[in-house]
Structure 1
Amino acid sequence: MNTENKYTKLMLSLFFDAIGYVSFIIPGLGEFLDIAWAPASAYIMTKMYKGNKGKIAAAVSFIEEALPGLDVIPTFTLMWLYTYVLSSKEVKQTIEA
């Protein structure tokens, strides 16, 4: 895996999660912005992470952004951690076994 691409995705993940927090900055109006952001975040998630993992993450991202009060969950960053930290440990354990 290209290390530069890995950290670019981390920066993008942090940025997209910050966009999701906008509803806390603008009370009342922010929840209406989530209506537009929910499908956009799901689409972006599928483009950042391919395959079934990306599709599942997109569904989770859509639900998290669409439901009020769940914006505190950093879905993009959690997906990055799962992809580059947790999954890489699973691969190493499988190779060592």
Structure 2
Amino acid sequence: MQDLKVVEDNRMQKLLIGLLLDGIGMISFSIPLIGEFSDVIWAPVAAFIMTRMYKGRVGRVASILTFVEEIIPFTDVIPSFTLTWIYTYFFQKTKQLQ
């Protein structure tokens, strides 16, 4: 029972961190010109963080998608960390049960 609580805490921690990181990624969208330039710095940082948050194939694929999403102008509104969290804890779990 104790292990279940640790897993639940880890989920919520990843969700809150993901929401914060998505917010940081979206901030650059609100600053014209300078914001898009900052994506050159933020894209590799976000991709690196994604690989640390989610291990294995999910982390590798999500980090590539996050990098592409952050580096392409005007796509900063896509919440890649939150979408990865949803995929990991809802869709992937359902797939494993089948």
TM-score (normalised: structure 2): 0.90
Does residue 27 of structure 2 align to residue 22 of structure 1? yes
Q: Which runs of 4+ in 1 moved over 6 A?
A: none
| CA-based RMSD | 1.0
Does residue 87 of structure 2 align to residue 79 of structure 1? no
How far apart are residue 36 of structure 1 and its match? 0.3
Quick one: distance in 1 between partners of 2:23 and 2:63? 17
What residue is the counterpart of 2:71 in the other structure? 66
Counting only pairs closer than 5 Å after superposition, residues 36-47 of structure 1 correspond to structure 2 as 36-47=41-52
Pick aligned residue for 1:54 from 50, 56, 59:
59
Q: Unmatched 5+ residue regions in structure 1?
A: none
User: SS of the counterpart of 1:21?
Assistant: helix
Quick one: distance in 1 between partners of 2:83 and 2:29? 20
Taking only the aligned residue pairs, the percentage that are identical comes to: 46
Question: Could you tell which deviates more after superposition, 16-25 or 2-11?
Answer: 16-25
Pick aligned residue for 1:89 from 64, 83, 94:
94
What residue is the counterpart of 1:9 in the other structure? 14
Q: Unmatched 5+ residue regions in structure 2?
A: none
TM-score (normalised: structure 1): 0.91
1:36-88 CA distance string (max 9 Å, x none): 00000000000000011100100000000000011111000000000001112
